[in-house]
């Protein structure tokens, strides 16, 4: 049985293989992203009202995201209009020179708007969202229906390979950075409904 920390190592190693092979997709998929990496923003500060910045742990998670994506350069980075998503993507953006696309959050169309922005991109796309938007974006892109991420969950990463010819997308659940602390029992299993 693997521990959470060894699972994280396995997951990041597997992610490296996926990232390294993302450029070898069939020509039929060239009009859409070859791979979409979706994460929740890093840990947020307890100060800052409704739009707080990242805490020190969140800044470390942003660096861990850049480390996890070290073998690829996203062609597009998509964030919400809240600071913590832009701050989470900032290290990747600085290393790659890719300016994030900001999709305003707060309306009923946010998830659809992010999915549309992803579909317009090619190559590897990084999406940094929120506990209640990331699973919904996975679903909107053809993945399974997933529950919202738990409020204390920050280490979850979804790697989505878009489907072709009407086939469902393939999704890998991975973890990056420091493992989340103990989660409530209701959060223990991230499984499709």
What count of other Cβ atoms lies within 10 Å of the Cβ of residue 96? Answer: 18
Predicted pLDDT of residue 126: 98
Q: How far apart are CA 130 and CA 19, in angstroms?
A: 23
pLDDT on residue 8: 45
Confidence (pLDDT) at 4: 40
Q: Which residues pair with 78 in a beta bridge?
A: 101, 127
Tens-of-pLDDT digits for all 193 residues of the chain?
333 433 444 444 445 544 544 444 443 445 689 999 999 999 999 998 999 999 999 999 999 999 999 999 999 999 999 999 999 999 999 999 999 999 999 889 999 999 999 999 999 999 999 999 999 999 999 999 999 999 899 999 999 999 887 788 999 999 999 998 888 877 755 544 3
Residue 85's CB is within 10 A of a number of other CB atoms, namely: 27
E strand or H helix that includes residue 109? none
Instruction: Give the C-alpha distances (Å, rounded to integers) separating 1 from 6, 16, 171, 191.
Output: 10, 22, 22, 19
Q: What residues are paired with 80 via a beta bridge?
A: 103
Q: Three-state secondary structure along 41-62?
A: CCCECCCCCCCCCECHHHHHHH
**Structure tokens that stand for 161 in this block:** 């390979």
State how far the Cα of 140 lies from the Cα of 114, in Å rounded to an integer. Answer: 9
- Please state, in angstroms and rounded to a whole number, the distance separating the CA atoms of residues 81 and 97: 19
pLDDT score, position 189: 59
């Amino acid at each position: 049985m693997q521990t959470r920390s060894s699972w994280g190592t396995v997951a990041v190693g597997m992610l490296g293989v996926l990232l390294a092979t993302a450029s070898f997709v069939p020509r039929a998929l060239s009009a859409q992203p070859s791979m979409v990496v979706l994460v929740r923003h890093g840990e947020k500060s307890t100060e800052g009202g409704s739009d707080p910045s990242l805490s020190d742990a969140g800044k470390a998670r942003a660096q861990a995201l850049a480390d996890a994506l070290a073998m690829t350069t996203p062609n597009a980075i998509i964030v919400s209009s809240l600071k913590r998503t832009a701050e989470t993507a900032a290290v990747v953006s600085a290393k790659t020179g890719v300016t994030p696309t900001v999709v305003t959050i707060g309306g009923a169309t946010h998830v659809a708007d992010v999915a549309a922005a992803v579909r317009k991109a090619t190559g590897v796309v990084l999406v940094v969202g929120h506990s209640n938007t990331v699973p919904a974006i996975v679903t909107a892109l053809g993945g399974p229906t997933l529950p919202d991420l738990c409020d204390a969950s920050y280490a979850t990463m979804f790697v989505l390979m878009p489907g072709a010819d009407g086939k469902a997308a393939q999704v890998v659940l991975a973890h990056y950075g420091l493992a989340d602390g103990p989660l409530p029992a209701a959060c223990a299993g991230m499984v499709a409904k």
